[in-house]
């Protein structure tokens, strides 16, 4: 198993540009999520999904879109990049079952380091 | 809303000294998880605590869940250079909120 994969590893954008961060997992996990990590701020949840076709907002969703057309993939779209979106982005997944994702280990991808100039 | 404070934000210790980080919640938690992130890496799951007063050990690491399930601690005995990193707590509900983390650095 490759686990959780993210592409690209590094990206530089200019203000106003759009792009998609890719995330894929091969563990058949129902739950997938996106976090951003900024110095001193910990990990903040952007969007999450509990299954194909179902997404919801996290703590900091503004400026980002997601979709979940398959179990495996959960791309994050930046609509119009801003310098405030400079951060490290992590995708994570876990199994779900009936007790909810909070009872299961979160598997993280290696991250994408994004700089917006 | 639910708030989780993680303290301290930073901790510098001499190699061989002990280290403790704490997570404190304003509400009762269903469970709590701990993660470690090495510098430049991604968070990796360490352990989950579910029961009131639960204590779990992993070699030099001791994890504790408070009796009221509102606080938790991670204690490392006799730190080694391999312990360097940021330690996060993560508490339950669908939005899986993480604490702000404690960054541990070790002076050899």
The answer to whether the beta carbons of residues B19 and B83 sit under 8 Å apart is yes
Supply the pLDDT for residue B3: 66
* pLDDT per residue as tens digits for the range A15-71: 999 999 999 999 999 999 999 999 877 899 999 999 999 999 998 999 999 999 999
Nearest CB partner across the interface for A33, out of B33, B41, B96: B96
What's the rounded Cα separation, in Å, for the pair B42 and A108? 6
Nearest CB partner across the interface for B88, out of A33, A42, A58: A42
Residue ranges of alpha helices (H) inside chain B are: none
CB contact under 8 A, A106 and B100: no
A59 vs B contacts (CB less than 8 Å): 95, 97
b (16+ CB within 10 A) / e for A69-104: eebbebbbebeebeeebbbbbbbbbbebeeebbbbb
Band of residue A114 on the pLDDT scale cut at 50, 70, 90:
very high
Statement: residue B99 has pLDDT above 70: yes
Statement: residue A112 has pLDDT above 70: yes
Q: What percent of chain B has pLDDT over 70?
A: 94
Statement: residue B92 has pLDDT above 90: no
CB contact under 8 A, B94 and A33: no
The pair of three-digit structure tokens given for residue A56, joined into one six-digit string: 């919801």
CB contact under 8 A, A108 and B48: no
Supply the pLDDT for residue A97: 57
CB contact under 8 A, A106 and B31: no
Nearest CB partner across the interface for A43, out of B30, B92, B98: B98
Supply the pLDDT for residue A102: 56
Statement: residue B29 has pLDDT above 60: yes
B9 vs A contacts (CB less than 8 Å): 40
What's the rounded Cα separation, in Å, for the pair B4 and A19? 33
CB contact under 8 A, B42 and A42: no
Mean per-residue pLDDT over chain A, rounded: 92
Statement: residue B86 has pLDDT above 70: yes
Give residue A102's region: left, alpha or beta (phi > 0; psi -120 to 50).
alpha
Give the H/E segment covering residue B21: strand B19-25
Statement: residue A87 has pLDDT above 60: yes
Statement: residue A100 has pLDDT above 60: no
Residues B91-106 have a mean pLDDT of: 83
Statement: residue B1 has pLDDT above 60: no
**CA dihedral sign, ordered A44, B96, A57, A29:** positive
* pLDDT per residue as tens digits for the range B31-74: 899 999 999 999 999 999 989 999 999 999 999 999 999 999 99
The answer to whether the beta carbons of residues B87 and B21 sit under 8 Å apart is yes
């Amino acid at each position: 198993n490759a686990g959780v994969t993210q592409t690209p590893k590094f990206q530089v954008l200019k203000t106003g540009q759009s792009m998609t961060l890719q995330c894929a997992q091969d563990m058949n996990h129902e739950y997938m999520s996106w976090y951003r990590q900024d110095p001193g701020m910990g990990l903040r949840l952007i969007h999450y999904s509990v299954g194909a076709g179902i997404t919801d907002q996290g703590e900091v969703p503004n400026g980002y879109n997601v979709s979940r057309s398959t179990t495996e993939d959960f791309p994050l779209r930046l609509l119009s990049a801003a310098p405030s979106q400079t951060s490290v982005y992590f995708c994570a997944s876990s199994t779900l079952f009936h007790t909810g994702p909070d009872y299961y280990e979160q598997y993280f991808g290696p991250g994408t380091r994004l700089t917006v100039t | 809303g639910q708030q989780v404070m993680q303290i301290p934000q930073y901790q510098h210790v001499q190699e061989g000294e002990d280290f403790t980080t704490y997570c404190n919640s304003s509400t009762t938690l269903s469970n709590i998880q701990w993660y470690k992130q090495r510098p430049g890496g991604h968070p990796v799951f360490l352990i989950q605590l579910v029961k009131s007063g639960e204590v779990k050990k992993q070699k030099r690491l001791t994890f504790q869940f408070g009796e009221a399930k509102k606080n938790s601690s991670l204690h490392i005995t006799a730190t080694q250079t391999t312990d360097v990193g940021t330690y996060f707590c993560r508490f339950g509900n669908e939005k899986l909120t993480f604490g702000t983390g404690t960054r541990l650095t070790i002076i050899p």
